A and B are shown apart, each in its own frame.
Chain A
Amino acid sequence: MTDRPHLAVIGAGPAGLAASLAAAARGIRVTLIDAGAMAGGQFYRGPAPGLGARRPQALHHQWRTGDRLARGLAGHVTAGTIEHLTDHHVWCVERQSDGFAVHALLGPEQERPVTVGVDAVLLATGGYEKVLPFPGWTLPGVVTAGGAQAMLKGSLVVPGRTAVVAGTGPLLLPVATGLAAAGVDVAALVESADPKALLRGTGDAKAFLERARALAAQPGKVAEGAQYAAQLVRHRVKVMARHTVVEAHGEERLDAVTVAALDGDGRVRPGTERRIPCDTLAVGHGMLPHTDLAESLGCRVDGLDVHVDEEQRTDVPGVWAAGETTGIGGSALSLAEGHIAGRSVAARLTGAEPDPREWAAVAKSRTRMREFFAALDTVYVPPAHWTEQVTDDTVVCRCEEVTGGEIRRAVGELGAGDVRTVKLLTRAGMGWCQGRMCEPAVAGLAGCAQTSARRLLARPVPLGVLARAEEDLAGAEEDLAGAVEDPDEPGGPGASEDD
């Protein structure tokens, strides 16, 4: 009955959903394991059912694609071809002689352990937001741009009445327009990059030509940008390009920010500072991949991204990866990668050699999307001299309350030249979040490149659970009734960009 090869897909965002559907449609028994109460991940996060949203698409740019994937998943769950484990927080994937044990903690309290035994694993763990520090960034009312969006999409709430959206990157656009549509007065969108540089000959000629080619291949994405621009105008949001937030003000909570113009070298222009009253600052400086599970499995990580081949295989046999864990690139790229990964799994786990010609169109879309995001990456970068805004009394490690001054002393007086040594000397990165929030800043202050952190466990685990882990390797004993092949494969790759 359960002789079919068993795949665990970890993460139910765009990549995990596309992978699950592609693999299940080809006879693989899929267990989709996700921390959320509903599938969708961060990108397709929908309002909780109890809120009774009749028009949830008002907060989403790609609602139809997400809805199609959700319906595809529901069909497979009904047919018994996909088991969807919600509220499961995976903390470790363990290699075993005959497969893998996926260890998770159940529910928001994350104390009760669950282990699923599988033949292969597909990591679709997505990413999280990078925020660089500045004075006042720990004040209540300062939230990450993605966090403001997640609270709005999931719980239909906003943190205040007047917001500034700041930092750098394409995420700031939907955050600003989403908050404005939800009734928040968005006083300014402060972008440290100059988005016009995408279309201009700044930088060297080769970079410009590559950008131009990547953009020309993505007319849909260019149109999307134009839509956001129109919405910003409609909501009268002031856009301040080549500006940055230098300080957040307030005692018990945020009451204003100071913004300033940047010069061509990425330094604050003296005398351009101006104060904007606001009770909310939504700030972000790009995204970082979640790679903890891949690292503890021993997968090769290049820079910050899990390394994969053309089939989305990592270098560990039996482990595939797709979506932003392999590099930040947005939902359409995640869908393409997930689809290819699912098809590769389906072939490999049944002993067949996959034929890449079958997914040639998706692979082509994957290439174009990667080129597009590489082009964006050359433009959306934090100000080159952002560390100059980090005063000695600015808290850098939010968990352990380690300041910029303490980190500078560790670097300057004690000779720490990397994140790990700074951590040992100052405790920066040793708290609850395990350095996820402060690592980019600590690396910047130490003058080194941020590398993957090699966390042994992907999230805090109660000691009792760790002690019992050995005994709990029973595996999921679910009898699935016969493979049901879905001829009308739902959620094919994200070639179609809805809305």
Chain B
Amino acid sequence: MNPLELVRAQPGPAFTVTLDGREIEALPGQSVAAALWTAGVTSWRSTRGAGRPRGVFCGIGVCFDCLVTVNDRPNQRACLVPVRPGDTIRTQEGTGHDD
């Protein structure tokens, strides 16, 4: 059983986005974070100070741990931003403004 089977989901057609240039599949309606989890990715940011990896923590837009660069806009909360066909997602280093 997986979550999609549990609720008998019939999602719309999957589409492709990229994470650091690598193609991954996403489903309509998912957040960027959900698409990354589905692709087996759980961290996509390194912190400003110690450069430690971070991903989803609160999942509802409160903690700002899941910040990511989407279509060249840094510091987007991956748990809130809906994933869209053709999105270019990039892991974010530090403030996101250096690269």
Q: Which residues of A contact B (CB under 8 A)?
A: 35, 37, 42, 47-56, 58-59, 108-109, 128-129, 138-144, 146-152, 154-160, 181-183, 252-253, 398-401, 431-433, 436-437
Query: Do the beta carbons of A147 and B43 come within 8 Å of each other?
Result: no
A59-B29 contact given A143-B56, A157-B37, A436-B63, CB 8 Å threshold: no
Query: Do the beta carbons of B9 and A151 come within 8 Å of each other?
Result: no
- Nearest residue, chain B, Cβ from A47: B7
Contact with A along B22-43 (1 / 0, CB 8 A): 0000011111011001100011
A144-B7 contact given A50-B27, A159-B42, CB 8 Å threshold: no
Query: Do the beta carbons of A58 and B43 come within 8 Å of each other?
Result: no
- For the complex, give the distance between the alpha carbons of A252 and B64 in Å: 19
- Return the contact of A140 from the options B5, B42, B60 (Cβ within 8 A): B42
Can you name 21 A-B residue pairings with CB atoms under 8 Å?
A47-B7, A47-B9, A48-B30, A50-B27, A50-B28, A51-B11, A52-B11, A54-B7, A59-B3, A59-B7, A138-B57, A140-B55, A143-B59, A149-B59, A150-B59, A151-B56, A155-B33, A155-B34, A181-B1, A182-B3, A252-B53
Query: Do the beta carbons of B80 and A108 come within 8 Å of each other?
Result: yes
List residues of chain B with CB within 8 A of the CB of A149.
Answer: 59
- For the complex, give the distance between the alpha carbons of A401 and B27 in Å: 34
Query: Do the beta carbons of B76 and A144 come within 8 Å of each other?
Result: no
List residues of chain A with CB within 8 A of the CB of B4.
Answer: 51, 156
Query: Do the beta carbons of B1 and A182 come within 8 Å of each other?
Result: yes
- Return the contact of A59 from the options B6, B60, B80 (Cβ within 8 A): B6
Query: Do the beta carbons of A128 and B58 come within 8 Å of each other?
Result: yes
Query: Do the beta carbons of B63 and A433 come within 8 Å of each other?
Result: yes
Asked if B47 CB lies within 8 Å of chain A CBs, one says: yes
Query: Do the beta carbons of B59 and A144 come within 8 Å of each other?
Result: yes
List residues of chain A with CB within 8 A of the CB of B2.
Answer: 158, 182-183
List residues of chain B with CB within 8 A of the CB of A144.
Answer: 57-59, 63
- Nearest residue, chain A, Cβ from B36: A157
- For the complex, give the distance between the alpha carbons of A55 and B3 in Å: 11
- Return the contact of B59 from the options A148, A181, A433 (Cβ within 8 A): A148
List residues of chain A with CB within 8 A of the CB of B53.
Answer: 139-140, 252-253
List residues of chain B with CB within 8 A of the CB of A138.
Answer: 52, 54, 57, 65
- For the complex, give the distance between the alpha carbons of A128 and B4 in Å: 26
Contact with A along B53-75 (1 / 0, CB 8 A): 11111111111110100000100
- Nearest residue, chain A, Cβ from B31: A155
List the 9 closest A-B pairs by CB distance, nearest first: A147-B59, A48-B29, A50-B29, A50-B28, A155-B34, A432-B64, A140-B43, A52-B10, A53-B7
- Return the contact of A108 from the options B60, B67, B76 (Cβ within 8 A): B76
Asked if B48 CB lies within 8 Å of chain A CBs, one says: yes
Query: Do the beta carbons of A183 and B62 come within 8 Å of each other?
Result: no
- For the complex, give the distance between the alpha carbons of A140 and B45 in Å: 10
Query: Do the beta carbons of B7 and A433 come within 8 Å of each other?
Result: no
List residues of chain B with CB within 8 A of the CB of A151.
Answer: 31, 33-34, 37, 56, 59, 79
List residues of chain B with CB within 8 A of the CB of A52.
Answer: 9-12
- Return the contact of B60 from the options A42, A158, A398, A399 (Cβ within 8 A): A42
Query: Do the beta carbons of A51 and B9 come within 8 Å of each other?
Result: yes
B36 CB → nearest A CB, Å: 9
- For the complex, give the distance between the alpha carbons of A146 and B52 in Å: 23
Query: Do the beta carbons of A53 and B1 come within 8 Å of each other?
Result: no
